[in-house]
A and B are shown apart, each in its own frame.
Chain A
Amino acid sequence: QSRLSQPRSASGTPGQRVTISCSGSTSNIGSNTVNWYQQFPGTAPRLLIHSDNQRPSGVPDRFSASKSGTSASLAISGLQSEDEADYYCATWDDSLDVYWAFGGGTKLTVL
């Protein structure tokens, strides 16, 4: 069972804005920065957002993220068909037995 909770699925139509939530605790999201990953079927995850809200070079500014307390969220505006993928949140966990935590992943469907 993942220490970070994400909805299993999300959906939207082209052009819409979609958000994906990630809920954690004081030992992970509440204490450390959050990263988001995008994964297409059969490929390795790609770093989409780091340090709560920073986009690596090459990531469109349609992708944004925020964090408040022990929750974080990823927003995709101007949804496009090519955004259909799995999205994972991840963060360091200060619990002695965990270190790194991933969310269970959210499958985004573009209708």
Chain B
Amino acid sequence: QITLKESGPTLAQPTETLTLTCSFSGFSLNTPGVGVGWIRQPPGKALEWLALIYWNDDRRYNSALRSRLTITKDASRNQFFLSMTNVDPVDTATYYCVHMGLRRWDYWGQGTLVTVSS
């Protein structure tokens, strides 16, 4: 059974760097083909894909946010991470960590609401 859970600050100050952690179980990031990622959803708005990383460290980013995002993993600890620099109130959203099956986001964390405010 695959489960994922996000953790990190619930409040961030503008211009800070936000770092989120996803802890997972039920799969390994050392297994060929496995991918994981981050998707966010501002309050009352649509889903927005942010980044993904594969078992072989291949990474992809949403081009609109590429300069501010870094996705990394620690397969030995069953965790992966998202860093977002220079956060702004428009980055206020629920952030989901997700497992990618064959061209689909099939397992989702419960989400963590991050509010960016001074």
Contacts and interface: CB of A to CB of B under 8 A. Distances in A.
Interface string B50-91: 001000000011110000000000000000000000000000
Given A99-B49, A99-B62, A102-B46, A44 B110 contact: yes
Contact of A99 (B46, B60, B102, B105): B60
Nearest to B49: A100
Nearest to A32: B103
B49 A44 contact: no
Contact of A98 (B46, B63, B104): B63
Contact of A44 (B37, B63, B96, B103): B96
B103 A105 contact: no
Interface string A82-106: 0000001010100011111111110
Interface in A18-57: 32-33, 35, 37, 43-47, 50-51, 56
A102 B109 contact: no
B62 A44 contact: no
Contacts of B111: 44
Interface string B17-49: 000000000000000000001010000001111
A102 B49 contact: yes
A68 interface: no
B63 A97 contact: yes
B47 A102 contact: yes
A66 to B, nearest CB: 17
Contacts of A37: 47, 105
B49 A33 contact: no
A105 B39 CA distance: 14
22 contacts: A32-B103, A35-B104, A37-B47, A37-B105, A44-B111, A45-B47, A47-B105, A50-B103, A51-B102, A51-B104, A98-B62, A98-B63, A99-B52, A99-B60, A99-B61, A99-B62, A100-B52, A102-B46, A102-B47, A102-B49, A103-B46, A105-B47
Interface of A: 2, 32-33, 35, 37, 43-47, 50-51, 56, 88, 90, 92, 96-105
